[in-house]
Amino acid sequence: MSRETVGYGLFFRDPCEIKKHRESLLLLGKMASVGQMAGGVAHEINNPLGIILGFSQVTASQLSQDDPNYQSMKTIEREALRCKKLVHDLLRFSRVPKDNSFEIVDVNMMIKECFSLIEARSKTTDVEVIQELTPTPLTVNANDNQLQQVVINLANNAIDAMPHGGQLFIGTRPSTTRQNHVDLYVKDTGEGISKEIQQRIFDPFFTTKDAGKGTGLGLSLVQEIINNHGGHIELESEMNRGTTFTISLKQANAS
């Protein structure tokens, strides 16, 4: 059996596989530049958005509430605010993390901060997003930006698994199985993952999606980040019923 090595020591058996992985690498480079561009575009949008918001607020404040234009102005204001939040989150997410430092992170807050990015995508696909966060903070020692990447990757996969719509639950709870741990789960009502495929989903470049749609890097990144955090990932899936990924992280200050 012939084997070839590609740069960083991964082994692939046949030329087709090598071609596919080269394409994935190209796509990865393209995605990185799209990410940078998104950051730049978000910056550019910020200023005109500020002007739209400012004028609509001033105009609305000068109109009486029964003026026929009042509701329109309030709608412009509300929608501009929504865009501003989205741009803000996009900027935060596309920012290259300065360091890998860990700090005390409230998992609930971390999820709320990337929520608008998830909702922006779910709305285009008829997926209802349901937050099931504990009312009190659940703190872990973590890198905030990396944990957001985990949530966004899991949520993106969940949305991809529900092309005809469905429900996406993102929740937290004190772990029921591990002492002094916090659970974060992302659950969907999508197509599910077969047993054979479950064994491969964390492999770098493994994807079942069409070229251009999947890189197969999302879950390998999730795994790397969670390993870095000393956490655990569990997966439950049933074909045509849905999938749940549960991440367990040690509670901050727990011995």
Ligand X SMILES: Nc1ncnc2c1ncn2[C@@H]1O[C@H](COP(=O)(O)OP(=O)(O)O)[C@@H](O)[C@H]1O
- 157 touches Mg ion (CB under 5 A): yes
Task: For 214, list phi and psi in degrees, rounded to 5.
Answer: -125, 150
Cα separations in angstroms, 217 against 18, 31, 112, 195, 201: 16, 11, 24, 20, 9
Binding marks (x or -) toward ligand X, 180..219, rule CB under 6 A? --------x-xx-x---x---x----xxxx----xxxxxx
Cα separations in angstroms, 238 against 195, 244, 245: 9, 9, 12
CA–CA distance, 81 with 99 (Å, rounded to integer): 30
Residue whose CB is less far from ligand X, 187 or 229: 187
Residue whose CB is less far from Mg ion, 218 or 231: 218
> Taking CB positions, which residue lies at the least distance from ligand X?
218
- 243 touches ligand X (CB under 6 A): yes
Specify the amino acid at residue 51: I
CB of 24 to ligand X, least distance (A): 9
Please, what is the Cα angle at 146 between 40 and 178, to 5 degrees? Answer: 160
Picked from ligand X, Mg ion, none, the partner binding residue 243 (CB below 5 to 8 A depending on kind) is ligand X
Strand-pair category, 166-174 with 127-132: parallel
Picked from Mg ion, ligand X, none, the partner binding residue 209 (CB below 5 to 8 A depending on kind) is ligand X
- 157 touches ligand X (CB under 6 A): yes
- 218 touches Mg ion (CB under 5 A): yes
Residues touching Mg ion: how many (CB under 5 A)?
A: 2
Picked from Mg ion, ligand X, none, the partner binding residue 246 (CB below 5 to 8 A depending on kind) is none
Among 150, 158, 168, 247, binds ligand X (CB under 6 A): 158
CA–CA distance, 84 with 177 (Å, rounded to integer): 40
Residue whose CB is less far from ligand X, 59 or 223: 223
CA–CA distance, 57 with 79 (Å, rounded to integer): 12
Angle between helices 218-228 and 144-160 (to 10 degrees): 150
CB of 243 to ligand X, least distance (A): 4
Closest CA to 35 of 80, 104, 74, 90: 90
Picked from ligand X, Mg ion, none, the partner binding residue 191 (CB below 5 to 8 A depending on kind) is ligand X
**By CB under 5 A, which span of 84-92, 153-161, 182-190, 233-241 interacts with Mg ion?**
153-161
> Taking CB positions, which residue lies at the least distance from Mg ion?
218
Closest CA to 201 of 221, 190, 216: 216
Residues that bind Mg ion (CB under 5 A): 157, 218
Contact residues: ligand X, CB under 6 A: 153, 157-158, 161, 188, 190-191, 193, 197, 201, 206-209, 214-220, 243
